[in-house]
Structure 1
Amino acid sequence: MSRGNQRDRDRERAQARAGGKTKQPRNDGLTPEQRRERDAKALQEKAAKKAAQAAGGNNAGVGRVNK
């Protein structure tokens, strides 16, 4: 047992890094159902944007003129 109090010291250091903050519950004023709907809509918009970008092809050459 050569480690001694390393676990305790690490726990104290982690608590100091966290600033003694405790985890707060979400306080965005939404019900779980409203939060699910909001997140689903954001995910759909993100997927649509990615699909549109993929359909557009590679835009690496945008702005350059090939001569």
Structure 2
Amino acid sequence: MTSKEQLLDLVEHLDEAQAAEVLDLLAARFPERTAERELPGFVGMGHSGHGDLGRRAKEIVRKELGGRAA
């Protein structure tokens, strides 16, 4: 078993308090990895601002195809 596999196995068995403690230790050791990152440009590009598109799918298709929606 590799070191990384051993580490992942240990992490899987931590309770929430232990996980928080280990996270604090790792965050202090690797501050460049825990710095807040800017989100990629594609995040949110599917937001139309017109509510739930899934619920409106038939209405949208009818409008776009001139009334022919199942």
Q: TM range, normalised to the smaller chain?
A: under 0.3
Higher relative contact order (CA 8 A, sep 6+): 2
TM-score, normalization by structure 1: 0.28
TM-score, normalization by structure 2: 0.27
